[in-house]
Structure 1
Amino acid sequence: MDRLTEMEAFANVVDQGGFTDAAKKMGISKSAVSKHVSSLEARLGARLLNRTTRRVSPTEIGLAYYDRARRVLNDAGEADALVTSMQSAPSGLLRISVATDFGVNHLSPVLSDFLRDYPEITVNMVLNNRYVELISEGFDMALRIGELEDSSLRARKLTETTKRMIASPAYLEKFGRPQKIDDLNTHKLLHYSNQSSGSMWKITAPSGEKRQVRTSGWLSVNDGQSLLNAAISGLGIAYLPSYLYSDAMAEGLVEDVMPSLPRETQGIYAVYPPGRFTQPKVRAFIDFLAEAFAEKEGINW
């Protein structure tokens, strides 16, 4: 007889408290359940059940075997569900967290194509500029930019962006162009208040040395688009990723303040909760984004 069927019959007898109810649950005859359990006991060489006219209960050995058998049966059920899920069309609610500026400028424009491709998926995109806890806050995934914190989350790199100091031509004409990193101490530096490094810019010098510059200026804000607007208006120097400033630079609204510095590269990642397999809706969206952003590396935003 099939070993897994024997386990299932025995576990159902324990769960249901008897052969009759176990047979109903399995959709087979009472005698068939009895044969499966008897075959299991014979193969193991141990009595697993105490049988009386009124009730059936597991022996001490039977109880220990039941705990392990139930785990095996649960794993087998999960394996079957995994195959079914992976073959089915992605569907359901997909809840995403993304930074406001990236979500508005780059994620929103491609969502329509994704939803046309996957009509059984509905998307709830939450735009905010804080670090969300995916599992406790009920998110399926998030898009994160820059160095990832150590965590149990899984991550897939989608593309890259570069980070540069930018300012308007009017600002540079009025206050001059810094020639070296130390010159930044005399300039108006526009500060992104949500960055993990606090009120410090981490900059790589031409020599490769890592430098820190304390920011001080007329504006501190937790939104990258607002910092770009401030830089365009001539309020100071902003340190921003290329997905924000590339259009403004192409139009001549801002310039690279210190082009001699090495380009700082930041990864753009999809992060999602750990697990034995990725939900089809999450996997479909990550694959879609990887293709949508495939040519968006560096300054090509």
Structure 2
Amino acid sequence: MNHDHLRLLVEIAQQGNFSSVAKSRDLDPSSVSRIVHGVERELGVRLFQRSTRHVSLTEAGSAYLERVSHLLDELDSASDALKSLEHHPSGVLRVTASVAFGQICLLPLIPEFTRLYPDVQLELVFTDFNLDLVADRIDLALRLSPRMSQGAVRVKWFDASYKVCASPDYLGRNGAVRESSDLESRKCVLFGHPQPQSDWIVRIPSGLVRSIVVDAAITASNGLAQRDLALAGLGPALMPGWLCSSHVAAGQLVELLPDHAITPADFEGTAWLLYPNRTYLPARTRALLDFLRARTRLDWTSA
């Protein structure tokens, strides 16, 4: 059985149609269809149910491709192991992060990484949804969420703290925030993915911990949008340090209650590097993992 044909079948199952796979492989859709028919004829079973716009796996197809995908992963691991004997990372490396986290913490590091490892082909997948590492063929995920992918290995990258910030213009129009209870009477710019973060946990200088509930002036499902709305003077925003610290340093935002610890979840925020739990870690994944762990900026971690 042709291994590339099997990979094509797995891609069709993931994408749900022939045309998108044909486009990604620069093939004619009729060529893809002929390959599928050929494999089905060789196996003697129908693998896909076809409709005008979508294809789906048959029961036999689902059982077959589930086993085939694992075998292909093993073949890839064997190839990677062979290549790594020469300690030369190469090949495609799919990396995912949230849009804001990827833009701010990952993208500035990419030019240096590509200079060090020119034979690694990066595929950056920035999305605010947590992708399935195996189903979406992710080699390394950058995550802030405490929810970890099942079966994934996680490595700590850096501690992530939060700040409540507002623009000087907002404070000029609305007055200073002197204690945490003042925030409950303000309209704030909330992060809203997967739901608005209106419940905040506050630890005051004495060590006392209390919860506050804030109202929304506006909610943004993306961290970059939330930061820009705060910069525009729409209200206080609770943001991770890596997202807002440079703007605080530049005087574009003012940190409110800097002697308080404020968080939307808990005080043990961490940025994680995750990869699928496989027998062998490809050299290209190890290269990026070690590269990122060696490069952590102080303003990402400062309280």
**Same structural fold, with TM-score higher than 0.5 when normalized by the shorter chain:** yes
Which runs of 5 or more residues in structure 2 are unaligned?
Answer: 1-74
Tell me if structure 2 keeps the 8 A contact 1:193–1:220: yes
Aligned residues: 224
Tell me if structure 2 keeps the 8 A contact 1:145–1:269: yes
Tell me if structure 1 keeps the 8 A contact 2:192–2:221: yes
Tell me if structure 2 keeps the 8 A contact 1:159–1:294: no
> Over residues 50-75 of structure 1, what are the superposed CA-to-partner deviations in whole Å (9 max), with x where a residue is unaligned?
xxxxxxxxxxxxxxxxxxxxxxxxxx
Instruction: Name 1:113's counterpart in structure 2.
Output: 112
- In the TM superposition, residue 117 of structure 1 has moved relative to its aligned partner by 1.4
- In the TM superposition, residue 198 of structure 1 has moved relative to its aligned partner by 4.5
SS in 1 for 2:301: coil
SS in 2 for 1:190: strand
Provide the C-alpha distance between the structure 2 equivalents of 1:114 and 1:191, rounded to a whole number of angstroms. Answer: 34
Instruction: Name 1:87's counterpart in structure 2.
Output: 85
Instruction: Name 1:272's counterpart in structure 2.
Output: 275
User: Counterpart of 1:129 in structure 2: which amino acid?
Assistant: D
User: Counterpart of 2:289 in structure 1: which amino acid?
Assistant: I
SS in 2 for 1:236: coil
2:230 pairs with 1:227 = no
The alpha-carbon distance between structure 1 residues 123 and 83, as it changes in their structure 2 partners (threshold 3 A), is closer
Tell me if structure 1 keeps the 8 A contact 2:160–2:269: yes
SS in 2 for 1:281: helix
Say which is worse superposed, 263-272 or 244-253, in terms of deviation: 263-272
Superposition RMSD in Å:
2.7
Tell me if structure 2 keeps the 8 A contact 1:163–1:265: no
**Displaced runs of 4 or more, over 6 A:** 77-82
- In the TM superposition, residue 289 of structure 1 has moved relative to its aligned partner by 0.8
2:179 pairs with 1:180 = yes
The alpha-carbon distance between structure 1 residues 248 and 294, as it changes in their structure 2 partners (threshold 3 A), is closer
Say which is worse superposed, 100-109 or 141-150, in terms of deviation: 141-150
Tell me if structure 2 keeps the 8 A contact 1:100–1:223: yes
Matched ranges for 1:23-102 at <5 A: 84-88=82-86, 89-102=88-101
Q: Mark the structure with the bigger radius of gyration.
A: 1
2:250 pairs with 1:251 = yes
SS in 2 for 1:173: helix
Instruction: Name 2:199's counterpart in structure 1.
Output: 200
Provide the C-alpha distance between the structure 2 equivalents of 1:78 and 1:103, rounded to a whole number of angstroms. Answer: 27
The alpha-carbon distance between structure 1 residues 196 and 220, as it changes in their structure 2 partners (threshold 3 A), is closer
- In the TM superposition, residue 82 of structure 1 has moved relative to its aligned partner by 7.7
> Over residues 84-128 of structure 1, what are the superposed CA-to-partner deviations in whole Å (9 max), with x where a residue is unaligned?
354232111111111111212231121121112112210110111
- In the TM superposition, residue 295 of structure 1 has moved relative to its aligned partner by 4.9
Provide the C-alpha distance between the structure 2 equivalents of 1:241 and 1:162, rounded to a whole number of angstroms. Answer: 6
- In the TM superposition, residue 136 of structure 1 has moved relative to its aligned partner by 1.6
Say which is worse superposed, 192-201 or 88-97, in terms of deviation: 192-201
- In the TM superposition, residue 152 of structure 1 has moved relative to its aligned partner by 2.4
SS in 1 for 2:294: helix
2:240 pairs with 1:237 = no
**Residue in structure 1 matching 2:287, options 279, 284, 291:** 284
- Normalising by structure 1, we get a TM-score of 0.66
Identity %: 24
Provide the C-alpha distance between the structure 2 equivalents of 1:79 and 1:256, rounded to a whole number of angstroms. Answer: 48
The alpha-carbon distance between structure 1 residues 277 and 181, as it changes in their structure 2 partners (threshold 3 A), is same
Provide the C-alpha distance between the structure 1 equivalents of 2:172 and 2:121, rounded to a whole number of angstroms. Answer: 49
Instruction: Name 1:59's counterpart in structure 2.
Output: none
Tell me if structure 2 keeps the 8 A contact 1:167–1:237: yes
SS in 1 for 2:115: helix
